[in-house]
Amino acid sequence: MAAHELAYSTVTDLAARIRRRELSPVEVIDATIARIEARNPSINAFIYEGFDDARQAAKEAEQAVVSGGELGPLHGVPTAIKDLFDFKPGWPATFGGVRAFKDFIADFWCVFAERVEAAGAIIVGKTNSPVMGFRGTCDNPLYGPSRNPFDVDRNAGGSSGGSAAAVADGLVPFAEGTDGGGSIRIPAAWCGLYGYKASFGRVPLVVRPNAFGNTMPFIFEGPLTRNVEDAALALNALAGYDARDPFSLDETHDFTGAVRRSVAGMKIAYSPDFGVYPVDRRVAGVVADAVRAFDEAGAHVSEIAFELPYDHNELSDLWCRQIMLVNLSTFENLKNLGTDLLADHRDDFPQQYLRWIDAAYEMTPVDINRDYVMRTEVYDAIETVFESYDLIVTPTLAVLPVENADDGNTTGPSEVEGQSVDELIGWCMTYFTNFTGHPSASIPAGLADGLPVGMQLIGRRYADADVLAASAAFERMRPWQHTYERCANRM
């Protein structure tokens, strides 16, 4: 079977065809590998190709089909995991292209890899990420930038940029993203994908030696897909209790049912800027038009004035300080294991990163408590909206995809519509829900100048089904599958 014949098949369709014996897992994986070999050099999505392991897993998956064995919901479906805090035993882990870890091999699992394999999926490799995931673009000095399949001169977005590029370019039908400030939703927006970040606790995250480290801010694993139903199917496999995560929810749901729900009567609050962000007028125009689809589906959309006592620079600085508490814990753990990154490998880190990790070491308990007060105010502002509305809709990002740099240090813009913004994260309208734990998704809203624009949907805490239902309703009103022709047909 030619690689292009399966390139844009959905997770749902591939799994069903494998169960019906219309496709064999071996031919699916062979076609996937052939497409990766042909197209990955132009987008730099994969930084590790686990093809031998994938071929062996495909043979075992095929034997299970032939023998009538029990098949998981993702049986035989190819996928990829991210190269950050994401692990599969025997595979490399460079924490986003940190040169000191170019030869490091993990001997442990991340929950995403563990659970999708248990559901029958076959992991074919690892995808590119920025150093320690600390920016909204995808670039690093070890592997370079991941390029956007819609325009290879531009960035795929971060930090899960390699995963997003791989899915948009038809290399795999779904891939892992992790999200500590928007790292699922940011590359989804720039690569024209659906990116889903669940409610805090819905998908467990196992962090050691500090089991409480995924709260500063809330950190998530989740899927990047080309449609909503595939994300719901992946969420079914990922969600559920895990005793290793003290915040894991002891609940089970079939999220695929939500994609067929009506949104008639749902009350949706539309904020074009969260009250604080400058937004590129091209992005603003696409999202303002897209949000009307909810009215067409029977919901009621009202534009609201979102109120916060801080400007966007104060809030992006807050996120940088919060996420650095997680990074500080990582550095200290590695030091205890014999690797002092700041003492022996300081040059492996961009200056923007070093500024914030050095600041984290100077923070006092009073500073940390003050930041939690700021974070609480963001939570209260969102909850105030939910007193009257079922969903909040905003742009996902304030800007279109940026051009790649040639020095391993691509950043976002430092100015938007005449206002200065933090070049790492200040143009990303995503990290609020990492402060608060609300479920949120980025959905393709349309194109501006031939480049994807994302629209963010935010639901009440634990109302994942509402976000999925509204996302699917939008997909029915404004389908976007045709946009991938721009990726498939590029030279």
**Neighbouring residues of 212: CB distance < 8 A, sequence distance ≥ 6:** 246
Question: Is 163 a residue of the active site?
Answer: no
Sign, Cα dihedral of 132, 137, 143, 147: positive
Question: 9, 24, 82, 271: which one is catalytic?
Answer: 82
- For the chain, the average pLDDT equals 97
Question: Where is 415: in which H helix or E strand?
Answer: strand 415-416
Per residue in 146-162, pLDDT tens? Answer: 999 999 999 999 999 99
329 is a catalytic site residue: no
- Taking the CB of residue 337, how many other CB atoms lie within 10 A of it? 9
Residue pointed to by tokens 């492996």: 348
Look at strands 391-395 and 267-270 and give their pairing. parallel
Query: Tens digits of per-residue pLDDT, 462-481?
Result: 999 999 999 999 999 999 99
Angle between helices 111-118 and 228-238 (to 10 degrees): 100
- Please tell me the predicted confidence (pLDDT) of residue 213: 87
pLDDT of residue 165 exceeding 80, the answer is yes
State which H helix or E strand residue 394 sits in: strand 391-395
User: What pLDDT was estimated at residue 363?
Assistant: 97
Q: Is the pLDDT of residue 328 over 70?
A: yes
pLDDT at 3: 57
Model confidence over 2-48: pLDDT tens digits? 557 799 999 999 999 999 999 999 999 999 999 999 999 999 999 99
Confidence of residue 491 (pLDDT cuts 50, 70, 90): low
Report d(CA 262, CA 294) in Å as an integer.
Answer: 11
Closest C-alpha to 122, from 193, 195, 59: 59
The active-site residue out of 24, 183, 199, 316 is: 183
Give me the pLDDT at residue 69, please.
Answer: 86
Sign of CA dihedral 82, 83, 84, 88: positive
**Contact of 458 with 439, CB cutoff 8 Å:** yes
Work out the percent of the chain whose per-residue pLDDT is above 90: 97
Q: What value does the mean pLDDT take over residues 163-191? A: 98
Q: Where does 16-130 show beta strands of DSSP type E?
A: 46-49, 78-82, 122-127
The model's pLDDT over 421-445, given as tens digits with 9 standing for 90+, comes to 999 999 999 999 999 999 999 999 9
Q: Which is catalytic among the residues 24, 129, 146, 159?
A: 159
**Which H or E run includes 175?**
strand 174-179
Q: Work out the average pLDDT over 244-253.
A: 95
Is 24 among the catalytic positions?
no
The count of C-alpha atoms lying within 13 angstroms of the C-alpha of 28, restricted to the half-sphere facing its C-beta, is 34
**pLDDT (tens digit, 9 = 90+) per residue, 266-278?**
999 999 999 999 9
- 81-136 pLDDT, tens digit per residue, is 999 999 999 999 999 999 999 999 999 999 999 999 999 999 999 999 999 999 99
Please give the average per-residue pLDDT across 334-351, as a whole number. 95
Q: What would the two tokens of residue 407 be? A: 């020095």
Distances (CA, A) of 432 to 426, 435, 450: 12, 5, 28
CB 141 within 8 A of CB 348: yes
Q: pLDDT band at residue 490, thresholds of 50, 70 and 90?
A: confident
Residue range 395-409: average pLDDT? 98
pTM of the model: 0.97
pLDDT at res. 43? 98
